[in-house]
Structure 1
Amino acid sequence: MKTCEWCGGLQASPCVTAVYWELPDGTKAVEITDTPALSCADCDMVYQEELTIKEIEDQLILIDTKKLPHTITFQQLMQTERILKRNYFDFS
């Protein structure tokens, strides 16, 4: 169990869920299934950790999103061939 980022409770546990993400160019949204998440038994919130969010956003910048189907699994997204080597817009 982990501490919930929303309520601070100690009942957050790993799970997978579907998320919907707008592509960086704003042309469409995609459903990403089987996405790693945390589910809190105290507040019922299901959310992605910051690392997962960064992985998704970086990957969407680095791949040719025109080839993406409307629904893709998290694993398939992460395995999609990159056209850039890294996210040149990440200054963190």
Structure 2
Amino acid sequence: MKCKWCDQEGAFETLDKGYWELPDGTRAVEINELPSIQCVYCGMCYQTDELVGDVEEQLMLIDTSKLSATFTYKELMNQERLLKKNYFDIDRYPL
């Protein structure tokens, strides 16, 4: 796999942690076991644009007051949604 940062072959899929600010701006949370890409050459560990979009969408559609300060990616994605989709994200869901 090619690294998006240094453009070298040798990146691989892994699990890492990431930090997100909740959509209402009240606090930040730590997400563990987050699917990520790690590069053996430059050392960068990052998430794909698609995964970032999925996390942000899920945070918009759930009751974030029920979240602890730290949780796993699977726990986040298994949270019950209040809406089926984010109707305000016109880039992902054009009219």
TM-score (norm 2): 0.93
Q: Distance in 1 between matches of 2:25 and 2:10?
A: 35
Aligned-partner residue type, residue 37 of structure 2: L
CA RMSD of aligned residues (A): 0.6
Q: Which residue number in structure 1 is paired with residue 12 of structure 2?
A: 13
Q: Which residue number in structure 2 is paired with residue 41 of structure 1?
A: 40
Aligned-partner residue type, residue 52 of structure 1: L
Q: Which residue number in structure 1 is paired with residue 30 of structure 2?
A: 31
Gaps of 5+ in 1: none
**1:6 shift after superposition:** 0.6
Q: Distance in 1 between matches of 2:14 and 2:85?
A: 28
Q: Distance in 1 between matches of 2:86 and 2:40?
A: 35
Q: Distance in 2 between matches of 1:32 and 1:49?
A: 15
1:50-86 CA distance string (max 9 Å, x none): 1110110000000010111000100000000000110
**1:40 shift after superposition:** 0.3
1:18-73 CA distance string (max 9 Å, x none): 11100000000010000000000110000000111011000000001011100010
What is the 5 A alignment of 1:67-82? 67-82=66-81
Matched residue count: 91
Q: Distance in 2 between matches of 1:17 and 1:64?
A: 24
**1:91 shift after superposition:** 1.1
Q: Which residue number in structure 1 is paired with residue 3 of structure 2?
A: 4
Q: Which 4+ residue blocks in structure 1 deviate beyond 3 angstroms?
A: none
Q: Distance in 2 between matches of 1:72 and 1:5?
A: 27
Q: Secondary structure at the match of 1:13?
A: strand
Q: Which residue number in structure 1 is paired with residue 89 of structure 2?
A: 90
**1:11 shift after superposition:** 1.1
**1:88 shift after superposition:** 1.0
TM-score (norm 1): 0.96
